Amino acid sequence: MTRKVEQADGDHASAGTDVAGNSSSGSPLRVVVLADKGGVGKTFVAALVWSLFEEQGRTLRIAEAERPTERKMTELLKKADAPAPEPSVELPSEQDLAGNPRLKAAAFGPLLQAMRANQDILIDVAAGGTRGLLDQADIASHGERTDGGRGMVFLVVAKAEDITSALSAEAAAAKARSIYLNAKVVVVITHVTHDRQRRTNNAASVADKLRQTASDVVLIDYNGGPLVGELYGSRNVAFHDIAAMSIDDAADLLGNPGAPIDEDEAAIFLGEYLRWYFTSLRDLAARLDMSAPAARRPGAVPARPTAAAGRAA
């Protein structure tokens, strides 16, 4: 259910993981995905985190705070027949929020409450809400009331070769670390490209700068192939549902009556996607103190049932 807000007057030690991917401490993970600049791939990263939990068979509650026209996570969940975000906060404009404590409390209070949940939870916060959320957390002494954010991981998203997003991410990461002394604050750099030998990439200078502020930095390549753009981007298909497709499903969905593709072409596209997908999950799992899911190759049957092809159509 969408909650419409009405107008009104430091690092913790990494824990081990068990075979199911759970933290050995048994404590829930509360993952907050932030970006203080739009268009950097924030929900893209949040969707990968969701897929990591799905691959591990862990139930994940998802919350969202977005502008009315930017509800990508809601659309992904709807396509996957998954529960709607809770809470789902429709953020007012920054102009409406300015100087209105009641409206700020109504917008950000439910998110701060969700961050104290005793369950695995993923919170996807709009670019326009990142600064407001951290400001209200500071005002509310949220860090002190959550044992310094123990069990929280903040994923602050920046875009390779975008200095503005890097500076915004640096400021957001510094703010989060100052409030939540026991949380892990990780900068995730998207739209990364490598040379053929993977020795150099277009994010090196940004990553070096952000490592001075964040607990860690992770680079997410942008080379998942056509299945990413055509299914996740255009049809709102979750990454784990794409990964569960058969080669025939991929051929049907990527081809069209005027230009069909054969089984081998589809297997190449699916293999390219699966390599990217499991590499990305492995890198994120390491930062979330979770075990990485076992990689699959085209044609392998996933361990969990799926209706991916039907939802993608």
Give the count of beta carbons closer than 10 Å to the beta carbon of residue 62: 26
pLDDT tens digits for 10-48?
A: 333 333 433 333 444 468 999 999 998 889 999 999 999
Q: What sign for the dihedral angle of Cα 280, 281, 283, 287?
A: positive
pLDDT value for 64: 96
Residue 21: DSSP 8-state: S
Instruction: Tell me what pLDDT residue 200 has.
Output: 66
Domain 1-11+22-191+202-220: top CATH class: alpha beta
DSSP three-state, residue 197:
coil
Task: From first to last of the 313 residues of the chain, give the pLDDT tens digit.
Answer: 344 444 333 333 333 433 333 444 468 999 999 998 889 999 999 999 999 999 999 999 999 998 877 889 999 999 999 999 999 999 988 888 888 889 999 999 999 999 999 999 999 999 889 999 999 999 999 999 999 999 999 999 999 988 899 999 999 999 999 999 999 999 999 989 877 666 667 888 888 888 889 989 999 987 788 999 999 999 999 999 999 999 999 999 888 877 888 999 999 999 999 999 999 999 999 999 999 999 999 987 665 544 444 445 5
Please give the model's pTM, rounded to 2 decimal places: 0.87
Lookup: tokens for 239: 């990454």
Tens of pLDDT along 184-210? Answer: 999 999 989 877 666 667 888 888 888
The number of helices, as runs of H, and strands, as runs of E, in the chain is 14, 8
What is the pLDDT at residue 15?
39
Place of tokens 């992904």: 76
- Whether a cis peptide bond, with omega within 30° of 0, leads into 87 is yes
pLDDT at residue 24, as a whole number: 42
Report domain extents, the chain.
Answer: 1-11+22-191+202-220, 228-313
In angstroms, the CA 109 to CA 120 distance is 19
